[in-house]
Amino acid sequence: MDLGHVRVIPEEGWQDGPPHELFKEMRGTCPVHWSDGIPAYPSEAGYWSVTRAEDVEAVSRDWETYSSASGITVVSDAVIPVELISAMFIGMDPPKHDRLKNLFQRGFTPKRIGEHEEQIRAITVEALDRLDGRERCDLVSEVAQPVVSRVIGSFMGIPPEDDEPWATLLNSLVGFGDPDLNPNGTETIMENQIPLIFERCQKLIEDRRNNPTEDLTSLLVHAEIDGNGLEEHEIVMGFFLLMAAGNDSTKATYCSAMQALMEHPDQRELLLEDPGLIPSAVEESLRMFPAFSHFRRTATKDTELNGVKLRKGDKVVMWYPSSNRDEERYEDPDRFDVTRNPDHQAFGGGGRHFCLGSALARLELRVLIEETLRRFPATSLDGTPAYAVSPFANQLKTLPVRLHA
């Protein structure tokens, strides 16, 4: 394959999920690959694709050379302006990134996460209970979405009746390129969705100022950095970051994991025989099905990566569905093996921007898989699953199943 003029995006290449064959070819022939633009966004500059695990680690861990402050996705300004992204710690560089992230970490300590296992299990069981007497369901909309919405909603202090509208809003943003998740197009995001997020957040912020609680929204509202409180747009965007990550990450990997277990019944049988393997299955699912396909950095100076010269200002995109299937790191990388228990880059390639919610995601995934297999050990596909058409959100939007053999 001549890769000279290949672009990882356009989005039609993502109709059935990430383009794994293209990534495999790129890893073998040009692991740091230049694309000269994005057809759907003609104003966007070209970008470098980083496809191997070692190079992803090099970019992730060198924030001085590869900055997050100029945008975190391959599309810079077409969806959410950089000035709003830069109000979140994910769009900052040290030292401000470190100070703000340390504040958020207070809500994600191992002790605090562990205290929520009983509640997460109860939320999961309640969702599965609603399927009693049913022959069929959609695991995305009827199990994954309500569970993850209620879990992150309980962390943030959102009442249950607001779970569905928040989920719809966040799905349209994270899956911005998909006509089902965002039917009105990306141009409406700044016109409609962002103002609605600010409106909803501001009401919650005002309530927490007057009525502090133990939830994460109260933590943001009353937090101080160097004696100063956060500005309102920083609170709103911090709230949005936690909600978006909590809404999409676990949902995406759980659904892909369940699909893989149905397509590989021998692997499911291993888990049914030995549930102690489920934590390993979680790690293998995170490796093979990372929830987010990429994050981006921007070169702060002329540099070199794997023998390729990069210029100051170049966009550098780390593709996790590729790095997590790197032949140099994993034996038979396309094989789903619940005994593998691998290291992976589903939560990034290390460095300052490691995923804040990784412990919560692992806990949710373990509980979801445990309870689903316990209740419905013989699920099977009942139609063709549909992927979100998005080079950012690596997730299924439907997963129709038969619940019983």
Q: What is the pLDDT of residues 325-337, one digit of tens each?
A: 999 999 999 999 9
Q: Is 305 left (phi over 0), alpha (psi -120 to 50) or beta?
A: beta
* 297 bridge partner residues: 316
At 297 the pLDDT is 97
Could you tell me which residues come within 8 angstroms of residue 58 by beta carbon, excluding any fewer than 6 positions away? Answer: 305, 306
Instruction: Identify the pLDDT of residue 10.
Output: 67
Longest dimension (CA), the chain: 62
Residues 365, 114: contact at Cβ < 8 Å?
A: no
Taking the chain, what is the end-to-end CA distance rounded to the nearest angstrom?
A: 43
Token pair in block for residue 215: 């939830």
For the chain, give every domain's residue range.
11-402
Per-residue pLDDT of the chain (405 residues; tens, 9 = 90+): 556 667 788 666 788 899 999 999 999 999 999 999 888 788 888 999 999 999 999 999 999 999 999 999 998 766 677 888 888 889 999 998 998 888 888 888 888 898 999 999 999 999 999 999 999 999 999 999 999 999 999 999 999 999 998 898 888 878 777 888 877 776 677 777 778 888 888 899 999 999 999 898 998 898 887 778 888 888 888 888 898 889 888 999 999 999 999 999 999 999 999 999 999 999 999 999 999 999 999 999 999 999 999 999 999 999 999 999 999 999 999 999 999 999 999 999 999 998 989 999 999 999 999 999 999 999 999 999 999 988 888 999 999 999 998
Cβ–Cβ < 8 Å for 8, 391: yes
Three-class SS of residue 87? coil
Tallying the residues shown for the chain, one arrives at 405
Q: CB burial class (10 A; 0-12, 13-18, 19+) of residue 300?
A: middle
Distance of alpha carbon 373 from alpha carbon 314, whole angstroms: 46
- Quote the pLDDT of residue 172: 80
Q: What is the pLDDT of residue 1?
A: 52
Q: What local confidence, expressed as pLDDT, does residue 283 receive?
A: 98
Q: 């383009």: which residue's tokens?
A: 19
Closest Cα to residue 368, out of 249, 266, 273? 249
Q: Which CATH superfamily is domain 11-402 in?
A: Cytochrome P450 (1.10.630.10)
Chain centroid, CA 222 distance in Å: 27
Q: What is the pLDDT of residues 273-312, one digit of tens each?
A: 999 999 999 999 999 999 999 999 999 999 999 999 999 9
What DSSP state is assigned to residue 77?
A: S
Residue 391: what pLDDT?
87
- Angle (CA) 361-367-370 rounded to 5° is 135
Q: Which helix or strand (DSSP H or E) is residue 374 part of?
A: helix 358-375
